[in-house]
Amino acid sequence: MIDPYLRVISNFNRYRVDYIVIGVSGINYYVSSSAQIILTADYDIFIRPDVNNVRHAIKVMRSLDYEVTTADGSIKRIDISQIEKIVREKKTLICENPTHNLVELCLKVSGFSFGGLEKNKKIFRADRIKIMVASLKDMLRMKEIANRPKDRLFLQRYVEVLKEKERSLSGRERRFAKPLYG
């Protein structure tokens, strides 16, 4: 059975929404075992901040039974002037389905433009579905720039994951291992 996050990605690919998975959800694609997964309440996706792309993204989310809201309230119907305002103000779209799965569609991120992130994106595969994920280096840099208490806490925790990963490698593997990010 396909999970709700992967279903969103699969539909974004199908309807050609330009997106990149970011945040802790994106960082989790770089771990090598489930023990290194970091729990997160939502799935963060950066979508190209242009009117058509945002309109398609909202359409997809609504077709998957997600309620789409911004800080100003719920988006009941797709109105171009409202979407133009969202794009202009680069508001975050919070999408929640009846089983309380949260997907955040961001129109801006700390320190990077969409094009900047897209250049270094990495493509992962899940059940033959392509997932565009920002590079680990860019995502960690984003956290450093944002520098909120939760970002500092995350970076502290992530250093432990990297150390743990290094400890689990044998001497030979350690010598030949590619850096986890870079």
Partner 1 sequence: MDKRRLTIRFRHLILKKELQKTGDDKSWVSRLLWDLRRHYLNVKRAYDRPLSKSNF
Residues at the site binding partner 1, with contacts judged by CB under 8 A: 3-6, 9, 25, 28-29, 31-35, 37, 39-41, 43, 99-101, 124-127, 129, 131
CB of 113 to partner 1, least distance (A): 26
Q: Which helix (H) or strand (E) holds 2?
A: none
Alpha helices in 33-135 (DSSP H): 51-63, 80-89, 114-119
Contacts of 48 (CB under 8 A, 6+ apart): 18, 19, 114
CB of 78 to partner 1, least distance (A): 26
47: Cα within 13 Å, side-chain hemisphere? 29
CB of 7 to partner 1, least distance (A): 9
Q: Tokens standing for 114?
A: 């969409």
Closer to partner 1 by Cβ: residue 36 or 70:
36
CB of 97 to partner 1, least distance (A): 11
Q: What distance in Å separates the CA atoms of residue 176 and residue 121, rounded to the nearest whole number? A: 24
Closer to partner 1 by Cβ: residue 43 or 112:
43
Closer to partner 1 by Cβ: residue 77 or 100:
100
Closer to partner 1 by Cβ: residue 35 or 71:
35
Closer to partner 1 by Cβ: residue 99 or 170:
99
Q: What distance in Å separates the CA atoms of residue 39 and residue 104, rounded to the nearest whole number? A: 15
CB of 57 to partner 1, least distance (A): 18
25: Cα within 13 Å, side-chain hemisphere? 20
Q: What distance in Å separates the CA atoms of residue 107 and residue 102, rounded to the nearest whole number? A: 16
